[in-house]
Amino acid sequence: MLPANNLDLFIYHLIPQTLFGIFIIGCVLSICGFAFTSTIALFKSCVVRFVHRSKFRSTLLFIMCAQLLALSQLAAIGIWAFSLVLIGIIPSWEVAMFFSASSYTTLGYFPATMPEGWHMIPAFIAFSGLFSFAWAASSTMAMIGILNTALDAKSHPPK
């Protein structure tokens, strides 16, 4: 059995921040997942038309879609910042954005002090960032595969 102070720590600190962190991770992954799959669908539908016109246009399409993936990552950082400000963990929007960006893929150094009972939040932000970046990287590789297939089809038309 846990001593009373450890039990209090568990019930009053660990459970709320874990529920909050898991909820926001779900929100971030839902929004990023929608953005990633939509971007791949857009790329897939447009690349065939662009490849037949020029390799340059299809490359520009790839760059534009890669930027859409990057914007979705910025939106995810914004979701974390908004949620931190909304529940009062960090009072300033600017500080919350910097904190979220600092923690998004690593447990980066950030001088802001977290309120008592919210010290695990940077780990949850890092989890969501790592999952999102992995998904974005695989989406990028999928788009490269689609582009290479389209370029090969243009270079070697069926006989």
What's the token pair of residue 84? 């931190």
pTM: 0.83
Query: Residue 41: its pLDDT value, please?
Result: 95
> Quick check: 95 and 62 in contact, CB under 8 A?
no
d(CA 107, CA 94): 18
**Residue written as token pair 């790839």:** 62
Question: Which one-letter DSSP state was computed for residue 3?
Answer: -
Who contacts 121 (Cβ-Cβ below 8 Å, separation ≥6)?
A: 17, 20, 21, 84, 89, 103, 114
Query: Domain extents for the chain?
Result: 20-105+118-152
Percent of the residues in the chain that have a pLDDT greater than 90, as a whole number: 55
Q: CA–CA distance from 127 to each of 8, 14, 41, 105, 123 (Å)?
A: 25, 16, 26, 7, 6
d(CA 118, CA 110): 14
Taking only the tens place, the pLDDT of each residue in 13-43 is 788 889 999 999 999 999 999 999 999 999 9
